[in-house]
A and B are shown apart, each in its own frame.
Chain A
């Protein structure tokens, strides 16, 4: 494996008495696509949200493109480090979370202008280029409420990409969508994978994982219970709980 572009070391997260993530290590090579699967409550979403500190981990170290942030601090300096890290890590949410009071274009240029301090013209040019590539240019001046769920999620992906992140995190990106709308979102994610985007995808779409992932990780009870290439993890699982999980998902 080449030098990792993202690494998570010994990450722990507990809510009260319940330890949800129990010391996880993860390294991603550049351009690698990792799919995280597992039951709800297995800790996969929590792990994802700990990587960009939306949930503050109790212990561990997150490094993205050489920029490291240790967990468990409380200082103002620490919060600044987290924001620096977040510039490098894009995130796509289950509920899209587009800014409802802004048009599609305004959604895309907000953070580049405010956070990366790009000038407006450059931010607009980048955003328009992204929208064109994702086939959304005609929605440029539309408010999110006028878009279908699938379109909203694709705009949310474009918004994350507009920050030119090193890694993109997807938190069940198709779970809130009607079945007929998941296709266009998965298509967009396939496209990003082909373009060489480094991605971690928490998903229940086993077909997508099989087709697009370089590595599939089965998370169970806060640890990585099994991981490997998709054909191995999904095709001939060894872990009993993974076997029963796959049976349930497929039925």
Chain B
């Protein structure tokens, strides 16, 4: 105990000088952990005395042969995500404004929409639109059905974010604009929405990232995007692990790229220092 205390109060000066800044330590550890994860997929077997460590042996020949096939799904995934992001954003804006309306028939409609699509599973919604609606004669191809469902589902979630963002803009901003003679539409488009968008950018970015990954559910309704192709490749060869890992790495990469641009956007928006 005494010795411990002494060590804490008088650290060796050399060790102190060698201590890396937090950011460098963070990166070093990150690389180490990543190395450990990769090691588990190396196929190496180590025996340390009585302890045997087995790691997963991947079929690299299979990966080399099939990754171009799987990777072709990336474009479909991106297309799905982009269309759905646009659709969801439009729906979210409209339903957020509708929800804030003082006209009961309109705000209640927005409320019902949000409740329905947040209250049921996305996976089920895919099936309902693709199989269910086909049964009553409304036939969509898998891609269209997926875009419709992702837009509706994420539109409902993002609607709540938009609404909170709009309400977070201070009442004084609206009063000042009104006192200058601006119309309600001008106040919304010129004063409230630009500030709301700045407030909600981080939340909306997270929604986009989540949606980009949820496009994988479209594989359940015949869309051959990343996850679908991974299953197609893995199934006949019984090489699920290899195929799915290839797809997983793509999703991860897409998320990393998106996060990078999201951060830059947020920094740019912070210029006016809200």
Residues of A within 8 A of B (CB): 52, 54, 83-84, 86-87, 89-91, 93, 95, 97-102, 110-111, 114-115, 143, 145-146, 156, 159-160, 163
Contacts and interface: CB of A to CB of B under 8 A. Distances in A.
B173 A86 contact: no
A54 B175 contact: yes
Contact of B183 (A54, A83, A89, A163): A83
Given A100-B173, A100-B195, A114-B190, A146 B273 contact: yes
Interface string B170-204: 10110111111111001000110011001000000
A116 to B, nearest CB: 8
Interface residues of B, number: 22
A101 B274 contact: yes
B16 interface: no
Given A54-B179, A143-B271, A143-B272, A101 B172 contact: no
Contacts of A100: 173, 195, 272, 274
Interface pairs A-B: 3 shortest CB-CB: A97-B176, A111-B180, A145-B273
Most-contacted residue by chain B among A84, A99, A110 (CB, 10 A): A99
A163 B176 CA distance: 13
Given A83-B183, A97-B175, A145-B273, 17 more contacts: A52-B179, A83-B182, A97-B170, A97-B173, A98-B176, A100-B173, A100-B195, A100-B272, A100-B274, A101-B194, A101-B198, A110-B182, A115-B181, A115-B182, A146-B273, A156-B176, A160-B180
Contacts of A99: 173, 176-177, 191
Contacts of B195: 100-101
A54 B173 CA distance: 13
Nearest to A111: B180
A93 B180 contact: no
A163 B175 contact: no
A145 B272 CA distance: 7
B175 A83 contact: no
B190 to A, nearest CB: 7
Contacts of A101: 194-195, 198, 272, 274
Most-contacted residue by chain B among A93, A101, A156 (CB, 10 A): A101
26 contacts: A52-B179, A54-B178, A84-B181, A89-B179, A91-B176, A93-B172, A97-B173, A97-B175, A99-B173, A99-B177, A100-B173, A100-B272, A101-B198, A101-B274, A110-B182, A110-B190, A114-B182, A114-B186, A114-B190, A115-B180, A115-B182, A115-B186, A143-B271, A146-B273, A159-B180, A163-B181
Contacts of B194: 101
A86 B181 contact: yes
